[in-house]
Structure 1
Amino acid sequence: MNQRQPRTLYQLFEDSALRHPDLPALEIGDEVLTYRELRALALTLADRIARKHGSVPARVALAANRSVAAYAGYLAIQRLGAGIVPLNPDYPEQRNLDIAQRAGVEVALVAGRTAGLFGRLPERHRPTVLELDEAERADAAAADVLAESLPPVPTDLDREAYLLFTSGSTGQPKGVPIRHRNAYAFLAHTMARYEVAPGARLTQTFGLTFDAHLFDLFGTWGGGATMVVPLAADLFRPVDFIVERRLTHWFSVPSVVREAQRLGNLPLGRAVTLKHSMFGAEPVTAQHAELWRAVAPNARIHNVYGPTELTVCCTNHGLDGDSSSWPAFSNGTVPIGVAFTDMDLVLLDEDGLAADEGELCVRGPQRFDGYLDPRENAGRFLSYEEGTGPAVGYDGTTELTDRHWYRTGDRVRRENGLLVHCGRLDQQVKVRGFRIELGEVEAALHRHPYVIDAAVLALPGADGETELLAAYAGRPVEPERLDAWLRESLPLHMVPASLTHLPDGLPLNDNGKTDRKALARILGTSEGS
């Protein structure tokens, strides 16, 4: 992306639509929409929202996914300058209603099975509801007329771009508002790094409730490229999809690849069109990176890291060339690399002082301004300036400023100028007096040649003491042999009490990450195998 004036999300899309109106913007199945056609549909929907609601809303819910109508609806909301609150159609209705009400949405765009979602609410509490027509297409010739009748294209970078809800420790999701200036800072960096330009063909693997959709949509459209949307079945055969659709960029969680490998759907050497492959949201193991190098021999592999609060990702580590030339990864996972330009980070030890290993804390233009409920900011930020003493936790009684650091909750260490992810702070457990990082045990399991994926949990045993229980996918190994193999690399107190083979793979949540709650239920009733 060339250096230019910072833009809102809709401005990024419209700049490309006006420069490249006849290039393909969106491809779903057999249907292809040009930038001109997608812009026309977005403007039509924006006009309909404004007319039905009677004014420009502040926040709009979008209960649709993976359809032309969903993407046009997203753009329509951005065209009006409203903040978007994506709702996952696969979530329980009550969860979606709770999120919409907590967000205070004034309008809701609904489609398919979510059409009746807000009918459960008393009329006085319902937002203005518009049902999307999945088959609707717009007259491109009328687009300019509509554009003139709508409010001016939004340019305020301080306005909210989207509001996502992440899992909270109390069981109630926490609202994370991301502003256009946060989004632009992320996109300006990543579009340049990943060489997004006309002719590039990018994936859209992430649901709209997952923050990585920002790059899928606006990283693609901001660069004048084509967004190619896989159906759910395509993700089980990613290489076939890459080859058939001539993709140049792939972005997903690593578990998509592991699941394809488990199903025998990962042929090697065929994904030759890929130039960049990005993986995030979970640790990327050395085994995974080496496997993907064999799948996509021409692609640069990127391990990206970042929580929702820091706008998708804020560090990157790239791997080039043959895997035999890569250095050994100390904990079995690819480093998360170095920070993005303009992002500051520090590692703080248990005493709140800078160290080579500790909690990763970050600030900079991608850092959000605080949670939807300000009470949730307490404990999540801190003040720290080098040379002035230990960090001081933020208690919520003073103004939160851009000088405060966001606490990621991730344990990270520096190795040879790179950041290495060592697991969550809340994944450090104590078993019979020993402190154990669950990520270290998982990394050891991943090194076994038969193991494709693995997870380790700390759960109460029959005697009430905490014990380690492990599950893995791949080729089954006799528990005694796997136990003996682990004892060669781990001290006895770190070897799991049970090793359960799951032939159908580890349970995944809707974002493709390991569902640890579901896994706990499985292991709680399993004796290991």
Structure 2
Amino acid sequence: MKQTLVKQTLANPTLVKQNLYEWFAASVAEFPDRTALETGTERLTYRELHDAAERIAARLLTATGGVPRRVGLLAERGVVAYAGYLAVQLLGGTVVPLNPAFPAARHAAIVTAGGLDLVLAEPVGGEADGEAGAPELPVPVLTLAHPPTAADGYEPPPRGQAGPEDIAYVLFTSGSTGAPKGVPIRHGNVGAYLEHVVARYELGPGSRLSQTFDLTFDLSVFDMFAAWGSGATLVVPTRRDLLAPVRWAAEAELTHWFSVPSMVSFARRMRALRPGSLPALRWSLFCGEPLTLQQAEAWAAAAPLSTLENLYGPTELTISCAEFRLPREIAQWPRPANGTVPIGELYPGLEHLLLDPEGCPAEEGELVVRGPQRFPGYLDPLNDAGRFLLHDAATGTSVPYSGEGPLTPEHWYRTGDRVARRDGRLVHLGRTDQQVKVRGYRIELGEIEALLRARPGVRDAVVLAVPDPRAGLSLEAVCTGPDLRPELIMSDLRSRLPEYMMPRRIAVLDELPLNTNGKIDRQAAAAMIADRRD
């Protein structure tokens, strides 16, 4: 009975893939005995990973008494996390990843904002399943230390019928109002993305892909489903492995590397990026923050047989949406004035414009994009206002979306990124707002500022992204108010924010400097705290 049901679920891998699970299921049918996942000491074939996902899906059905709509996933990058991710997709539900390193208050905020039905979690502080090890959250929690085994007994769950318009996952990014902002991504968005990247990076059986990203980072979706959608192997490092990423990549015999550029800087500081140290790599991909020419040159020397690409894309445009392939010969590399590798061109099927501050097309301006990878709008529609626009090609004018009326495929998403066309290529010049990236994580400075201003006694606050020779950028906060104690404010922030959003220090001033328009002068504030450090 079991084998018959499995065969029905995995039949005909040549059918058009309507959802994320069908990308995986096609590989299960075609490559059942190939290795799908390596994590720690565990190795799972495609058949074994499918079976683990199916058993967890059965447990999810039992725990909720029906098919859950949205499921939080609170687990380290092990078999429970990956099989759990697939289990939710198998049922046709939506995955909402939660990072175990983040504070409990942030998890609770996401559970509420996301309208989750259930959280699948690894037990806290122990190996046993059950309520005793469940984290405290405002929804039911199913804890699993490991996937159920065949001996546990279960009925194979029915396959969900998610289609291209249904939501595959929701990621929560930093929000300017002080609360996390939900970004839902449709199955059709991811399908359009995978159709492009699987072929471009020559993925298939024998390919071995790195998984350096946490599951709350949208780039992790490339690692998982570009691998599982092609019969390749996903290779997951331990936390210790990431302290020596080059050695791990070489020992794991990776063929495809994907990380934020700051990983290159870390490897250089550790004196680990020696020429020729990554001979097996065929493809090296970087995304999440600007890739400098110095970083690219160091990596190219370490992986001389690898093709190196710089990728770009906000979460709202599904993982990445632009690419630039560096020539093999370093002498042929373009060298923009800002010292970063171009982001190149948009993926096939995507349209883009560069708009000046008046909303007119220009050679330099805000990048706006539409097409099959554009998300349908934020989980909270109140966040949509001002983030989209309609552009009239005949008049060359743009009208920002006010939040009234439906979003349509004609609406362009405003990335907030300042981009220029230089020598026929797109070059990223920075942000048009106060959003920054630290270690590849996108941060709205306003979210941290809102939390600071909520503290008793704080009159006003600004958070600044300042150059850091070790980390690229780091955060520093400035507050005004009577009798403020920075150490107490820092302690409060740690209970509410993940580590990457924590300011390095907090300075207390009598007043914040203002510019001639009466607005806070951030540059002057940065100079004042720099003077204090000196």
Indicate yes or no: 2:246 matched with 1:242: no
Q: Write the deviation string for residues 299-357 of structure 1: whole angstroms up to 9, x where unpaired.
A: 11111001011111100001131322323233200000100010110000011100000
Please report how far the alpha carbon of residue 427 of structure 1 lies from its aligned counterpart in structure 2 after TM superposition.
5.7
Indicate yes or no: 2:66 matched with 1:55: yes
Q: TM-score normalized by structure 2?
A: 0.79
2:431 alignment counterpart: 424
Please report how far the alpha carbon of residue 231 of structure 1 lies from its aligned counterpart in structure 2 after TM superposition.
1.0
1:287 alignment counterpart: 294
Indicate yes or no: 2:397 matched with 1:390: yes
Q: Write the deviation string for residues 66-109 of structure 1: whole angstroms up to 9, x where unpaired.
A: 11111011110110000011111111001101101111111210
Q: Write the deviation string for residues 401-460 of structure 1: whole angstroms up to 9, x where unpaired.
A: 1110000000000012110000001269xxxxxxxxx99xx9xxxxxxxxxxxxxx9x9x
Write the distance in 2 (CA, Å) between the matches of 1:281 and 1:217.
Answer: 17
Give the gaps of 5 or more residues in structure 1. Answer: 429-437, 443-456, 475-508
Aligned-pair identity in percent equals 46
1:32 match: secondary structure: strand
Please report how far the alpha carbon of residue 138 of structure 1 lies from its aligned counterpart in structure 2 after TM superposition.
3.3
1:391 match: secondary structure: strand
Amino acid at match of 1:92: P
Write the distance in 2 (CA, Å) between the matches of 1:155 and 1:272.
Answer: 41
1:93 alignment counterpart: 104
Instruction: Give the direction of change, closer, same or farther, for the CA distance of 1:119–1:238 in structure 2 (3 Å limit).
Output: closer
Alignment counterpart, residue 51 of structure 2, candidates 15, 18, 40: 40
Indicate yes or no: 2:194 matched with 1:187: yes
Q: Write the deviation string for residues 466-525 of structure 1: whole angstroms up to 9, x where unpaired.
A: 999643139xxxxxxxxxxxxxxxxxxxxxxxxxxxxxxxxxx9xxx9957524649848
Alignment counterpart, residue 81 of structure 1, candidates 68, 92, 98: 92
Amino acid at match of 1:285: T
Give the alignment of 1:264-279 within 5 angstroms. Answer: 264-279=271-286
Structure 1 range deviating more: 11-20 or 322-331: 322-331
Alignment counterpart, residue 470 of structure 2, candidates 448, 473, 477: 473
2:442 alignment counterpart: none
Q: Write the deviation string for residues 116-156 of structure 1: whole angstroms up to 9, x where unpaired.
A: 787645xxx533x211123x4634999xx95xx42234341
Asked if the contact 2:167–2:186 (Cα under 8 Å) also holds between the matched residues in 1, the reply is yes
Give the gaps of 5 or more residues in structure 2. Answer: 1-12, 126-130, 439-444, 450-460, 472-493, 508-525
1:281 match: secondary structure: coil
Q: TM-score normalized by structure 1?
A: 0.79
Instruction: Give the direction of change, closer, same or farther, for the CA distance of 1:360–1:421 in structure 2 (3 Å limit).
Output: same
Asked if the contact 2:91–2:160 (Cα under 8 Å) also holds between the matched residues in 1, the reply is yes
2:42 alignment counterpart: 31
2:409 alignment counterpart: 402
Instruction: Give the direction of change, closer, same or farther, for the CA distance of 1:184–1:110 in structure 2 (3 Å limit).
Output: same
Alignment counterpart, residue 67 of structure 1, candidates 78, 82, 92: 78
Amino acid at match of 1:184: G
Write the distance in 1 (CA, Å) between the matches of 2:223 and 2:427.
Answer: 26
2:7 alignment counterpart: none
Asked if the contact 1:412–1:419 (Cα under 8 Å) also holds between the matched residues in 2, the reply is yes
Give the alignment of 1:68-467 within 5 angstroms. Answer: 68-113=79-124, 120=136, 126-127=139-140, 129-134=141-146, 136=147, 138-139=149-150, 146=155, 149-426=156-433
Give the alignment of 1:480-491 within 5 angstroms. Answer: none
Write the distance in 2 (CA, Å) between the matches of 1:468 and 1:154.
Answer: 45
Write the distance in 1 (CA, Å) between the matches of 2:366 and 2:214.
Answer: 29
Asked if the contact 1:37–1:138 (Cα under 8 Å) also holds between the matched residues in 2, the reply is no
Write the distance in 1 (CA, Å) between the matches of 2:177 and 2:285.
Answer: 32
Asked if the contact 1:316–1:339 (Cα under 8 Å) also holds between the matched residues in 2, the reply is yes
Write the distance in 2 (CA, Å) between the matches of 1:303 and 1:119.
Answer: 39
Amino acid at match of 1:193: R
Asked if the contact 2:123–2:133 (Cα under 8 Å) also holds between the matched residues in 1, the reply is no
Equivalenced residues, count: 452
Amino acid at match of 1:86: P
Indicate yes or no: 2:16 matched with 1:9: no
